[in-house]
Amino acid sequence: MVDAFAREREMAVDLVRAALAKGASAAEAYLAEEEELVIEVRDERVEDLKIARERGIGLRVLQGQRLGFAYVTGWSPASFARLAEEAVANAGAASVDPYYTLPPPAVYAQDLDLYDQQMEEVPLAAKIDLALALERAGRDYDPRVRLTESCNYEEHRFRVVLANSQGLVAAYRGSNCGLEAVLVASANGDNETGFHFQYSLKYAALNPEEVGRKAAAKAVQMLGARPITPRRVPVVMDPYVAVNFLGVLAPSFSADAVQKGRSLLADKLEQRVGGRSVNIVDDGLLPGGLASAPFDGEGVPSRRNLLVEQGVLRGFLHNSYTAAKAGTVSTGNAARGSFRSIPTVGTTNFYLAAGDAAPEALLGQVSTGLYLTQVMGMHTANPVSGDFSVGAAGCLIEHGKLTTPVRGITVAGNILDILEAIEACGHDLTFVAGRGAPSILVGRLTISG
């Protein structure tokens, strides 16, 4: 088979050599290329179309026990000398740290099926039709759906090439696409938004009718929503809200956060941190996962890591640096946002595993409570203390049934308390890009309105 990356591998190796020649004791070159297509439709026509290609290189060097980094856009060998000089100069101004290492060559999974040839071959016009179908499905759902806030088709195709001075040279390509709909329903002077989306590795899997209908249904359901008086009640969260809360907890699984004293879970290894139905997994090889990849941001093979098993904390996520510091091995969780950033520790496909219950059965267990379908300001939650107090909207649960829609309420507490109070998980595990959760039933939460 012809190596589609022969030239790129050579460039990466050349850059590593250039860095060593400028005085680096070890070096790692990361070449990335991304093609992006975004189609935004509104009122049955294309409002925005974005077609783009970006390339860049990140260079990480060690000079003894000091780390330096520099990046540049483009893949031009003419930029290598300056890039190498900058990275080495930056290392010279950094602190000494004995735990930096670069991983050796490894064997990677070959069968991940990350690139969708069909996505490349389908013409632009067909993708535009898909976005238009998305909007139509939403607008036709109910006459009260009167506005399109956004209806988008998005796709990303990318290539990654990595080489380091340990002799590691690796490359892969991938692609993903998605549909997003945000619609507004209006009645009696009340305007409410509803959103839904779907992301996939496969173009053929996209279902514009379902995404459009669900976004519309959520907007319509919220019409007539009003605040409620403060109370402390059981709460059922839909998968999207549960994913948002899971996101607050995610940084605490990073060994880097543990080692630096900013993880909520730091001293809780092998202890109970959640209800018995709580299983949390990070799986870099998950079939169909948007964050699946043969290797992580520094070339360590991806793998499945069980983090919480039946409520007990089993482990943390490591890259090469945190692993060396803790005297363990990397879990394949070196995360790299782009060629512009130094690898940190991050999640891949990170999810709260599904339980057995149907979502309706979770509602059925609640005599008086709240079903949450929207949260606002989740980014203000504090991942270090775990405290959050966020805006929310949803629906009252009375005798196991959804009744009156509510909005303008806040939900407050601590993320660890939520984890402990999870009484049951639904069978409807749903992914939002790289994070997933099912519907969950949470014992008690403080609501104010």
Partner 1 sequence: MPFGLSKEDLAAVLAAALAGGGDFADLFLEERLTTTITCEDDKVERLSTGHDVGAGLRLIFGESTAYAYTNDLTPEGLNALARTVAQAARAGGRRAPVFDLRRQPVPYDLAVQRWPDQVAVGEKVLLVERANAAARREDGRIKQVLVNYGDTVQRVVMANTEGVYAEDERVRTRLAVQAVAMSNGRLQTGYEAVGSFGGLEAFEECRPEAVAAVAARRALLMLEARPAPTGRMAVVMAAEAGGTMIHEACGHGLEADLVQRGLSVYAGRLGEQVAVPLVTVIDDATLAGRYGSFRFDDEATPGEKTVLIERGILRSYMYDRLTARREGRRSSGNGRRESYQFRPIPRMRNTYILPGEHDAEEIIRRTAKGLLVKKMGGGQVNTTNGDFVFDVAEGYLIEGGRVTAPVRGATLTGNGPEVLRTVDMVGGDLGFSIGICGKNGQGVPVSDAQPTMRIPSLVVGGTACED
Q: How far is the CB of 356 from partner 1 (least distance, A)?
A: 30
Which residues lie below 8 Å from residue 78, measured CB to CB, with a gap of 6+? none
Q: How far is the CB of 353 from partner 1 (least distance, A)?
A: 27
Residue pair 138/181 in contact by the 8 Å Cβ criterion:
yes
Q: Which of 26, 103, 20, 28 is nearest to 66 (CA)?
A: 26
Q: Which is nearer to partner 1, 169 or 243 (CB)?
A: 243
Q: Which is nearer to partner 1, 252 or 277 (CB)?
A: 252
Q: Which is nearer to partner 1, 365 or 389 (CB)?
A: 389
Q: Which is nearer to partner 1, 39 or 112 (CB)?
A: 39
Q: Which is nearer to partner 1, 46 or 306 (CB)?
A: 46
Q: Which is nearer to partner 1, 112 or 372 (CB)?
A: 372
Q: Which is nearer to partner 1, 118 or 338 (CB)?
A: 338
Residue pair 131/154 in contact by the 8 Å Cβ criterion:
no
Q: Which is nearer to partner 1, 2 or 52 (CB)?
A: 52
Q: How far is the CB of 97 from partner 1 (least distance, A)?
A: 6
Q: How far is the CB of 298 from partner 1 (least distance, A)?
A: 15
Q: Which is nearer to partner 1, 95 or 110 (CB)?
A: 95
Q: How far is the CB of 135 from partner 1 (least distance, A)?
A: 13
Q: How far is the CB of 374 from partner 1 (least distance, A)?
A: 9
Q: How far is the CB of 75 from partner 1 (least distance, A)?
A: 8
Q: How far is the CB of 357 from partner 1 (least distance, A)?
A: 26
Q: How far is the CB of 341 from partner 1 (least distance, A)?
A: 8
Q: How far is the CB of 113 from partner 1 (least distance, A)?
A: 28
What's the per-residue H, E or C state across the chain?
A: CCCCCHHHHHHHHHHHHHHHHCCCCEEEEEEEEEEEEEEEEECCEEEEEEEEEEEEEEEEEEECCEEEEEEEECCCHHHHHHHHHHHHHHHHHCCCCCCCCCCCCCCCCCCCCCCCHHHHHCCHHHHHHHHHHHHHHHHCCCCCEEEEEEEEEEEEEEEEEEEECCCCEEEEEEEEEEEEEEEEEEECCEEEEEEEEEEECCHHHCCHHHHHHHHHHHHHHHCCCECCCCEEEEEEECHHHHHHHHHHHHHHHEHHHHHCCCCCCCCCCCCECCCCCCCEEEECCCCCCCCCCCECCCCCECCEEEEEECCEECCCECCHHHHHHHCCCCCCCEECCCCCCCCEECCCCEEECCCCECHHHHHHCCCEEEEEEEEECHHHCCCCCCEEEEEEEEEEEECCEEEEEEEEEEEEEEHHHHHHHEEEEECCCEEECCEEECCEEEEEEEEEC
- Residue type for 252, please? S
Q: Which is nearer to partner 1, 51 or 358 (CB)?
A: 51
